[in-house]
C-alpha cells in the first residue's frame, strides 16, 4: 500500500459508495419499521433493528433518505457512463465466464490477487444490485404515489402487489449486502480500496 500504488477506485466513486451505504442503511431499517405497521407476511421485523422509533418517524427518515438514494443513483449512472468506467469495469461479461468464476468461487478457487478488475461474479453481482435498486425505486414510487403513476402501478400488478415487489427487492438488496460484507472480510485488502482508493 505505498503511495505509488495506482488509484483503483476514483475519489467520486469512494464518496458515492459511503453516501449510498448511508442511504441504504436508513432506507432498509426505516423500511422495516414501516413494514411492521402492517406486515405483508406472517412475521414482524424485530423492533431492535427497525429504525425510526414509530411509524411517523420511520416515514420521515424513509422519505428523506429516498432523495439521497435517487440522487446517488443518477450520479453513479451518469459518472460511470461519462468516464467510461462502465465499459472498463463491466465489459465483457459472458455466461461462460460467469459460470467458470462462480463454480471457482464456491470451491474457493477464485483468486482475488488483482483488485484492479472485477471477476465475472462481481460484475454480475454489481449489475444485479443496480437493477434491483432501480426496481426498489420504481416499486417505491408506486407505493408512494399509486394514483399518479398508473402505468407503473399496473406493470407491478397493482398497489398491494407493489408492496410484495418492494419487499422482495429489499430482501435481495440485504442478501447482496451480506455477501458484500463477507467478501470484504475474506479479502481485507478491498476495504482500503474503497476508502483511500488504493
Binding site for another protein (CB under 8 A): 25-26, 28-29, 34-35, 37-40, 48-61, 63-64, 67, 143-148, 150, 153, 159-160, 163
In terms of CB distance, is 52 or 121 closer to another protein?
Answer: 52
Cβ(59)–Cβ(35) below 8 Å = no
Q: Name the minimum Å distance from CB 194 to another protein.
A: 15
Q: Name the minimum Å distance from CB 106 to another protein.
A: 29
Alpha helices in the chain (DSSP H): 11-37, 55-82, 85-90, 95-106, 120-144, 150-155, 159-186, 190-195
Q: Name the minimum Å distance from CB 146 to another protein.
A: 5
In terms of CB distance, is 90 or 177 closer to another protein?
Answer: 177
81/74 Cα distance (integer angstroms): 11
Sign of the torsion angle spanned by Cα atoms 181, 185, 189, 195: positive
Q: Name the minimum Å distance from CB 27 to another protein.
A: 10
In terms of CB distance, is 131 or 181 closer to another protein?
Answer: 181
69/27 Cα distance (integer angstroms): 9
In terms of CB distance, is 58 or 173 closer to another protein?
Answer: 58
Q: Is 187 helix (H, G, I), strand (E, B) or coil?
A: coil
Please list, residue by residue across 160-187, b when 16 or more beta carbons sit within 10 angstroms of its beta carbon and e when fewer do: eebbebbbebbebbeebeeeeeeeeeee
Q: Say how many Å lie between the first and final Cα of the chain, rounded.
A: 7
Q: Name the minimum Å distance from CB 18 to another protein.
A: 11
In terms of CB distance, is 24 or 121 closer to another protein?
Answer: 24
Amino acid at each position: 500500500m505505498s503511495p505509488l500504488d495506482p488509484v483503483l477506485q476514483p475519489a467520486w466513486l469512494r464518496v458515492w459508495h459511503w453516501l449510498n451505504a448511508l442511504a441504504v442503511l436508513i432506507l432498509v431499517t426505516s423500511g422495516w419499521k414501516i413494514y411492521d405497521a402492517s406486515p405483508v407476511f406472517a412475521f414482524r421485523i424485530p423492533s431492535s433493528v427497525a429504525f425510526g422509533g414509530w411509524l411517523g418517524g420511520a416515514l420521515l427518515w424513509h422519505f428523506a433518505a429516498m432523495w439521497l438514494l435517487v440522487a446517488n443513483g443518477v450520479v453513479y449512472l451518469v459518472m460511470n457512463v461519462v468516464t467510461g468506467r462502465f465499459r472498463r469495469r463491466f465489459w465483457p461479461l459472458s455466461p461462460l465466464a460467469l459460470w467458470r468464476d462462480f463454480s471457482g468461487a464456491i470451491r474457493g478457487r477464485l483468486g482475488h490477487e488483482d483488485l484492479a478488475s472485477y471477476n465475472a461474479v462481481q460484475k454480475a453481482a454489481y449489475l444485479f444490485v443496480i437493477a434491483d435498486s432501480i426496481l426498489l425505486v420504481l416499486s417505491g414510487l408506486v407505493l408512494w404515489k399509486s394514483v399518479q403513476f398508473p402505468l407503473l402501478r399496473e406493470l407491478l400488478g397493482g398497489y398491494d402487489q407493489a408492496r410484495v415487489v418492494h419487499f422482495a427487492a429489499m430482501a435481495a438488496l440485504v442478501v447482496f449486502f451480506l455477501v458484500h460484507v463477507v467478501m470484504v472480510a475474506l479479502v481485507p485488502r478491498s476495504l482500503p480500496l474503497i476508502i483511500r482508493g488504493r
